[in-house]
Structure 1
Amino acid sequence: MSFATPTAVAESAHDHFFLGSDHERNERKVWLVIALTASMMLVEIIAGTLYGSMALVADGWHMSTHAGAMLITALAYRFARKHVRNRRFTFGTGKLGDLAGFASAVILALIALLIAYESVVRLTQPIPIDFNQAIVVAAVGLVINVVCAWLLKDDHAHHGHHHGHHQHDSERGDNCGHDDHHAPGMSRDNNLRAAYIHVLADALTSVLAIVALLVGSSYGWLWADPLMGVVGALVIARWSWGLIRDSGSVLLDASAEGEEVQLEIREAMAPTGSKVTDLHVWQVGPGHFAAIVSLTAPEPKEPSHYKALMAQIHELSHVTVEIQRQVT
């Protein structure tokens, strides 16, 4: 039994545009943050080399790791935007940001391990510290990180793209959908979130370093600095794990990501008297979800009927409906 309309073939050719609503703006912000971080990195390395300050050189190379990680974020935005209409990607490039976020989270975890290792070594083998110079370096780094955090603030949990469409299929898989324009749905851009966490991690290390150095210079406690390093590493590791968990869930199409959408679909189908026999919902981009809905009904209607009922679910950007007559 097929419920495909005559326009099915013509309307099946459409774009899977599942990028976030602020994709290009976020990309520009990340490039600006990279420019600020890289500039400060070069200044510290060059100045440290000229003036013989290992503190400056070390902090400069530390900033380079975060600049490199944020480069992953920027390149992911660029690639997703350039290939958004490439039909080789079955469900578009909206999830590329989650892949980049996952990679950045792994790098962040490695940075946390390196900080922890270096801190433990310093605890067991204390070295002399030029407190005044180190405080200046940490303070300058903190200022740069505060500016970068301000640029990226709040955008790591922004809205989805305004463009969505519903594609509904018959029980044989025929297409009979079209493009609709929906209001954006709430979402979290894990790609930008990764850059944001890298900036926060750098800011945290600067704050902890300043506190430890002030305490060390006042009381001569050389162990305060590496102890704060261990604390910072633990906090960064926790942030990293949260990002790995959330971006990994999206990459593995975890149903938990679309629980609210699933509930809305079931509520939309309830008045029809049909029974939802199978339902799969997964995220295909920031603010965009796809779904496969299997229904049985005593008197099945055309897919356009069920499509209209689900049109109010703004986050639902790609839908396949399978309909079967209920056997009594």
Structure 2
Amino acid sequence: MAHSHDPHQHAPQRFDRAFALGIGLNLTYVLIEAFYGWQVNSLALLADAGHNLGDVGGLVLAWVAIAAARLRSNDRHTYGWRRASILASFANALLLLVAMGSLGWESLQRLQQPEPIAGVTVMVVASIGVLINAFTAWLFISGSKDDLNLRGAFMHMAADALVSIGVVLAGALYLWQGWLWLDPVVSLIIAAVIVIGTWSLFRQSLHLLFDGVPEQVDLAAVRQYLQGLPGVKDVHDLHVWAMSTNEVALTAHMLIEPLPADDRLLHEVTLELHEHFAIAHSTLQLEAEHGCQLSCARPPASPK
């Protein structure tokens, strides 16, 4: 039996500075938005401030998950707390869907009873939000490609930037044409776009929570590779799952004849799984047809 372990894969890529900066900027913006919303009696700004406060909570959740993933494993948590990153990505997707549902409901209510808005103030405050949210999203864009948890943080900020752009456009058109219905209609369109974009994050994170095979792993190709190895008669109990949002593990039993005298084959297989299938943690058990494992490939010498 052999285990492949890459120590560099255990520590999630560090985005501490990005999280600290993003949380600080967005919390400041929430206070600015809430203050001016109260000053001009704008329900739209106050509601968006509450939504952005929820997104700050999402950033905190993602950051805590990354910190938890760095905790060492022990006898009670042999895998450590890496799965916290999957849970955080699921929670972030769920929060975003709930927030967009709330925004859509509020927009429908406002569409039935349109209200005038303070166009200039709304545009200025929303423009600040575009800059802050877009910058925060940029902080996470590199990590979002490979880490589902960071993708959740990126999606939150990108969604907020999109909402703020919509508010700016709605404010400008309101000042130009005076259309009271424009603000809720734009909000409904933006909410629909964000829900469509978030559904993939929600679906993937839920899939990983139930030990589904990560989408980047072609299980059929992995099985074909293992079954094509010299001497391998059969591969069974093959399992591939995500230990975290950026770590994949594999276990498999391989029926092989004859059993190798050393672990050279195991070393080559685990290296190949890591290099070509991005599986950093693999546990392989070699079995002979009579059920003997690698550990008994060399029988002990008979006592003299």
TM-score tier after normalising by the smaller chain length? 0.7 to 0.9
Conserved 8 A contact 2:250-2:281: yes
Q: 1:293 aligns with which of 252, 259, 282?
A: 252
Deviation at 1:192, TM superposition (A): 1.0
Residues 121 and 56 of structure 1: is their aligned pair in 2 closer, same or farther, counting only changes over 3 Å?
closer
Q: 1:202 aligns with which of 160, 166, 169?
A: 160
Secondary structure at the residue paired with 2:81? coil
Partner of 1:60: 49
Deviation at 1:323, TM superposition (A): 2.7
- 1:1-328 maps to which residues of 2 (within 5 A)? 18-22=9-13, 25-49=14-38, 51-54=39-42, 56-81=45-70, 83-157=71-145, 188-257=146-215, 259-260=217-218, 263-264=221-222, 266-267=224-225, 270-278=228-236, 279-301=238-260, 304-310=263-269, 311-314=271-274, 315-326=278-289
Deviations 1:62-92 (A, max 9, x none): 32111112111111122222x2333422333
Deviations 1:297-323 (A, max 9, x none): 231225724312212332333222233
Residues 46 and 138 of structure 1: is their aligned pair in 2 closer, same or farther, counting only changes over 3 Å?
closer
Question: Matches of 1:147 and 1:256 in 2, distance apart?
Answer: 29
State the percentage of identical aligned residues: 30
Question: Matches of 1:213 and 1:238 in 2, distance apart?
Answer: 25
Question: Matches of 1:287 and 1:275 in 2, distance apart?
Answer: 32
Residues 297 and 129 of structure 1: is their aligned pair in 2 closer, same or farther, counting only changes over 3 Å?
same
Conserved 8 A contact 1:298-1:326: yes
Unaligned runs of 5+ in 2: 291-304
Count of aligned positions: 284
Residues 197 and 321 of structure 1: is their aligned pair in 2 closer, same or farther, counting only changes over 3 Å?
same
More RCO (CA 8 Å, sep 6+): 1
Q: Which residue identity lines up with residue 249 of structure 1 in the other structure?
A: H
Conserved 8 A contact 1:94-1:284: yes
